[in-house]
Amino acid sequence: MSTRMTYREACRQAIREAVLADPRVFLMGEDVGRYGGCYAVTKGLMDELGEERIRDTPLSESAFVGAGIGAAMAGMRPIVEVMTCNFSLLALDQIMNNAATIPHMSGGQFAVPLVLRMATGAGRQLAAQHSHSLEGWFAHIPGLRILAPATVEDARFMLAPALADPNPVLIFEHVMLYNMEGEIPAGVEAVDIARAAIRRPGRDVTLLTYGGSLFKTLAAAGTLAAEGIEAEVIDLRVLRPLDDATIMESVGRTRRVVIVDEGWKSGSLSAEIAMRIVEQAFFDLDAPIRRVCTREVPIPYAAHLEQAALPQADTIAAAARALVRPAG
């Protein structure tokens, strides 16, 4: 029998299970303890698991991410929470110049088995300093694994294999997903953190996306299906290393592709994916590659402007429709 829960509860259960299963695992970050987390993911965990395992930190991302890196190098398995990915820039030196490079610079003498969780994305009127999607920036950095769980199932089961990875793993949780409910099928106890997932099969156009844009993309595919256009929806899930094989197999079937990315278009993850398709599957294409990305502005506070800035189901459907049934 399947289990129904929210994305928030899936994240909480994953953390709780990890801490109980391994004495080396602990969680630390701003407001994760007594307050229960900015998005209530860790509510009640400090009372149950204690202050040693669920640690509140000072408001200094560079300091506590650095402490997490040191703990990982010393044999612990820290889960470090950064409240929003905008604030991760305050720890970018630690993430890029230490976590990602120490295993290489030490010739493999030191591993950094660190998991860094952070909220990403817009849609909750949190304005420009709390709403951007910066996972594409981190996907540029060798030495990191970048995960973007979109489903409740992935939110529940991606943490365990991330903790087992000897290298740093960054998990981006979209803020609009925490309240979402979903089913975890009976018997599912693990997920793959190396492969993309086909969320809806199709034959006419491939829609590539991840994270908070997945459900907008599935809605767009439903609209297209009513018009006789069968879109295949690929949830990338793993942003570094990208699963090129699944992407190219889908493009080879449909011969058309739209990339949906909540990041800005210039220098984006969508640009990287498009170039890989050109390099590996150019002659499979029957139409130009299209991208639906966030408008190149700081995310507005006003609700109508915020929504206008973001990819939406109707703009995704329009881009796909134009490839399958071009005007004229």
The answer, yes or no, to whether the previous bond of 161 is cis (omega within 30 of 0) is: no
pLDDT given for residue 328 in this prediction: 55
Q: Is the pLDDT of residue 327 over 80?
A: no
102 contacts 112 by C-beta, under 8 angstroms: yes
6 contacts 180 by C-beta, under 8 angstroms: yes
Q: Is the pLDDT of residue 320 over 80?
A: yes
Is 81 tagged catalytic?
A: no
Is 130 tagged catalytic?
A: yes
From the list 61, 135, 153, 173, the catalytic residue is: 61
SS3 at position 211:
helix
pLDDT given for residue 1 in this prediction: 79
Question: Residue 85 carries which DSSP code?
Answer: G
Q: Is the pLDDT of residue 316 over 80?
A: yes
Residues 6+ apart with CB under 8 A from 122: 131, 132, 133, 175, 176, 262, 294, 299, 306, 309, 310
pLDDT-derived band at 326, boundaries 50, 70, 90: confident
pLDDT tens-digit series, residues 107-128: 999 999 999 999 999 999 999 9
pLDDT given for residue 180 in this prediction: 96
pLDDT given for residue 250 in this prediction: 98
Domains of the chain: 3-184 (3.40.50.970), 197-324 (3.40.50.920)
Helix, strand, coil: what percent of the chain each, to 5? 40, 20, 40
Whole-angstrom Cα distance, residue 129 to residue 120? 11
Specify the long-range contacts of residues 265-270, CB closer than 8 Å, at least 24 apart. Answer: 265/291, 265/293, 265/294, 265/296, 266/296, 267/136, 268/136, 268/293, 269/135, 269/136, 269/139, 269/239, 270/136
pLDDT-derived band at 22, boundaries 50, 70, 90: very high
Residue pointed to by tokens 């134009």: 322
Residue type at position 303: A
pLDDT tens-digit series, residues 29-75: 999 999 999 999 999 999 999 999 999 999 999 999 999 999 999 99
From the list 130, 135, 173, 174, the catalytic residue is: 130
pLDDT tens-digit series, residues 171-195: 999 999 999 999 999 989 999 999 9
pLDDT given for residue 2 in this prediction: 85
pLDDT given for residue 287 in this prediction: 97
260 contacts 313 by C-beta, under 8 angstroms: no
Q: Spell out where 2-44 has E strands.
A: 3-6, 25-29
pLDDT tens-digit series, residues 259-273: 999 999 999 999 999
pLDDT given for residue 265 in this prediction: 96
pLDDT tens-digit series, residues 217-273: 999 999 999 999 999 999 999 999 999 999 999 999 999 999 999 999 999 999 999
Whole-angstrom Cα distance, residue 93 to residue 281? 36
Handedness of CA 170, 171, 176, 179 (dihedral sign): negative
